[in-house]
Structure 1
Amino acid sequence: MTTNKRLQYFDLAKGIGILLVIIGHLQGNDIFSLSPYILPFCTWIFSFHMPLFFLISGMLMKYRNDQEISLSNLIKKRFISIMIPYFCFSMIYLSVVFYALLIQKSIMPETLYVNLWYVFSTYGMSVLWFLPTLFFAEIIFLFLLKKLNRKVLAITIVTITATISVVNYLISQLTFSSPIMERIHELSIAVMRPFLALIFIYIGYLVFSYFKESEKVIGKEIIIGIVLLIIGIVFFRVNGGVDFRSLVQKNLFFYYLCSVSTSLGLILICKNCHVTLKLLTFCGKNSLIIMAVHNNSTILFYAMKFSMFVNQYLTHARGYICYFIIFAILLLYSILITLLINHFFPFIIGKKKKTAKVS
């Protein structure tokens, strides 16, 4: 397997992942009314879509041989590529809040204060929570990887996961009845997220060592991938809806088995996909930007208005066509903003020049 091919299937998996993120965030009564299958599909997506990115992160660490790079250099690189975009996009999000407060006068000052807290506590505004979680999880993992031998590393990460999961469960049983207590609860979630993401990064790091290099389709891997997807679906049905952002995991065994199985199944299938899928690859390469910009309520509003306009001329599969129209508009918007940022404002994603292009 060539270097480009290996990187391509990572991009392909991330591309599928980010499209699922967009679909998963298309929620609300108006959306769910289009089809009875949308809600369970979105719930299924939430069972694995963030762990998928953590697993790929661990695989990329192994692929890049990050263990041989000094921790200080890794921290610097990760800060530029992850935290600079976090703060830049947070400032953009905050500008919308300022506009609503000062120009539209549609929100109270307290809303601004809470969102400032979200940014600087790394709890994160909206979808941006993922970036500091990934940053700190990667740094913690790399630190442990450099300091501990293989056996101790495994024991340490499993112990951390079990301990933080218990703490998270105990905290979830508490009642936070005041704004101050709510902020403390949010801070505890922000602190726990990276530690709970550790095990996904670790699994990705380990599993990548067993991936066989081949230019041909490996039938056994496709079969394993399909079986893993089925296992993931079965345990999703048992465990029900979860949400990594809020650390709602329910049954831990079912949660981790579902998220890891589904993610690895998807990655294995992508690994054996030798067809060039330009749109998915582009979305995978630019998943960070798409993650940050897709959740635009104004674009969603007009997308729904347009879909309802089209709906009056449809006779079959009206709900599904309307849903696809909404999704397509959000995706098109996200791609256009991605191209704009890459070409004119690359500093937002920690780069000095345009690197992404559609080819």
Structure 2
Amino acid sequence: MGKRRIEWVDCAKGIGIILVIIGHTVNNGKYGSSLRGMIFSFHMPLFFILSCMTFKCSENIEQYRKKTIHALKHLGMPVICVFALVIIIECRRNVNLIFDLNYWKQEMYCLLFASGAEVEFNGFKVRGIGIPWFFFVLFIGRTIFDYLHLCFEEKQLGVISIISCMIGIFFGSIQWLPFSLDIALAVMPFFYFGYKLKKMRVEEQAFKKTFTWGIVWISTLYITFPDYNNWTYLELAMRRYNLFPICYLTAIAGTMMTIEFSVLICNKLGRIMKPIMYIGRNSLYLLCIHIMEYNWYKIWYIENHQFYSAIKRTIVDLLILIVFMCVKSIIKSIWEKVNL
């Protein structure tokens, strides 16, 4: 029997992944920059927090090994497939790249650092891998947290998470580490908060708590992001931890606001929210589609209309997700019949 899913978690993930797409589209002018800052202030921490909230930590080292291998397959395969597909598309467009040693050196370093943005290492500029940095950080960060959970008592785990965070932020300021390890350490408090979230009664007084967390979120965001001309909010891929730890409080408040809002609308509009829950259940697939969409950006991009582009981009990505899930279902059905 499969593990029962929590509807409000899927709903929150659905809202979160849609915000990711919008946040990657709007960034110009007062309204675009402001909306981007509001989204970026918590959209990635939301996934880290929820991932640990639904994750059952290992009880012993043998279980830890099994969970690590399973997570590597679950999170590693999409990255390898997308990365290989990008290389195939680039080499098809320019056959000469196949024989270009500098190109392969660049791609090797790109995968090694797995950074969302360009990295400078030993005088060599390494191309950013883009959105897949999230998969590396989620896998490495949660794996480290699970190991720390085995090594330390629960009352010590919070302190260790903060120390790990400070180490990650330190390296993020001097030299970005391979596989975005510095970010994986920096987000350790989000994993810890997700771990503690399991014991919180988020379903109670959802309306009141949505409003309360919303006030905390917008108030602290204004402190870190007072001027839309300057991107001073939390941006993990770029290692921006402005006014730490206030930006972390903003991220947690924004996440909790989204969670409580998801609880609220799931209780009031359960059936209507089913599509958002479906998107949330398949948010990793949608993120992979979002990674590849530069190949069809002409379909959704509308020059000088960032908000229309964001709406169209979201719709296009969701349509491709539906097609992908249908194909996946057909292949699975055929495979099961073949193996009967």
TM range (shorter): 0.7 to 0.9
1:260 to 248, 252, 256: 252
> What CA deviation, in whole Å up to 9, does each residue of 1:201-228 have, x standing for no partner?
1101112212266xxxx3x232112221
Once residues 332 and 177 of structure 2 are traced to their aligned partners in structure 1, the CA distance between those partners, rounded to angstroms, is: 31
2:94 to 98, 101, 115: 101
Once residues 8 and 268 of structure 1 are traced to their aligned partners in structure 2, the CA distance between those partners, rounded to angstroms, is: 12
The 5 A counterparts of 1:1-359 are 4=4, 7-27=6-26, 32=28, 36-61=30-55, 64=56, 66-67=58-59, 70-102=63-95, 110-123=102-115, 125-169=129-173, 171=174, 185-187=175-177, 190-211=180-201, 218=204, 220-239=205-224, 240-272=232-264, 273-274=266-267, 275-276=270-271, 277-295=273-291, 296-304=293-301, 320-321=307-308, 323-341=310-328, 343-344=330-331
Structure 2 alignment gaps of length 5 or more: 117-128, 225-231
Local SS of the residue matching 1:37: helix
* Preserved contact between residue 114 and residue 136 of structure 2 (Cα < 8 Å): yes
> What CA deviation, in whole Å up to 9, does each residue of 1:81-103 have, x standing for no partner?
11122212221222222223317
* Preserved contact between residue 64 and residue 147 of structure 2 (Cα < 8 Å): yes
Once residues 150 and 45 of structure 1 are traced to their aligned partners in structure 2, the CA distance between those partners, rounded to angstroms, is: 31
* Preserved contact between residue 89 and residue 292 of structure 1 (Cα < 8 Å): yes
Once residues 176 and 289 of structure 2 are traced to their aligned partners in structure 1, the CA distance between those partners, rounded to angstroms, is: 23
Runs of 4+ in 1 over 6 A off after TM superposition: none
Q: Structure 1 length as normaliser, TM-score?
A: 0.76
Once residues 126 and 338 of structure 1 are traced to their aligned partners in structure 2, the CA distance between those partners, rounded to angstroms, is: 24
> What CA deviation, in whole Å up to 9, does each residue of 1:44-85 have, x standing for no partner?
211111100000011112xx4644781111112111211122
CA change 1:294–1:102 in 2 (3 A) is: same
Local SS of the residue matching 2:94: helix
| Matched positions, count | 307
Which stretch of the first structure deviates more once superposed, 75-84 or 232-241?
232-241
* Preserved contact between residue 53 and residue 197 of structure 2 (Cα < 8 Å): yes
User: Could you tell me which residue of structure 2 aligns to residue 174 of structure 1?
Assistant: none
CA change 1:343–1:65 in 2 (3 A) is: farther
* Preserved contact between residue 168 and residue 184 of structure 2 (Cα < 8 Å): no
Give the AA of the match of 2:288. Answer: A
> What CA deviation, in whole Å up to 9, does each residue of 1:304-325 have, x standing for no partner?
2xx57xx9xxxxxx87556423
Give the AA of the match of 2:43. Answer: H
Residue 342 (structure 1) shift: 5.3
Once residues 269 and 246 of structure 1 are traced to their aligned partners in structure 2, the CA distance between those partners, rounded to angstroms, is: 29
Local SS of the residue matching 1:331: helix
* Preserved contact between residue 168 and residue 186 of structure 2 (Cα < 8 Å): yes
Give the AA of the match of 1:97. Answer: E
Give the AA of the match of 1:128. Answer: P
Structure 1 alignment gaps of length 5 or more: 172-184, 312-317, 347-351, 354-359
Once residues 222 and 103 of structure 2 are traced to their aligned partners in structure 1, the CA distance between those partners, rounded to angstroms, is: 37
* Preserved contact between residue 27 and residue 39 of structure 1 (Cα < 8 Å): yes
Once residues 248 and 261 of structure 1 are traced to their aligned partners in structure 2, the CA distance between those partners, rounded to angstroms, is: 18
Once residues 247 and 345 of structure 1 are traced to their aligned partners in structure 2, the CA distance between those partners, rounded to angstroms, is: 40
User: Could you tell me which residue of structure 2 aligns to residue 179 of structure 1?
Assistant: none
* Preserved contact between residue 299 and residue 330 of structure 1 (Cα < 8 Å): no
- Across the aligned residues of Structure 1 and Structure 2, the Cα RMSD in angstroms comes to 2.9
Residue 147 (structure 1) shift: 1.5
> What CA deviation, in whole Å up to 9, does each residue of 1:107-129 have, x standing for no partner?
x8645532332224433622111
Residue 188 (structure 1) shift: 5.1
Local SS of the residue matching 1:248: coil
* Preserved contact between residue 123 and residue 129 of structure 1 (Cα < 8 Å): yes
CA change 1:101–1:117 in 2 (3 A) is: farther
* Preserved contact between residue 294 and residue 331 of structure 1 (Cα < 8 Å): no
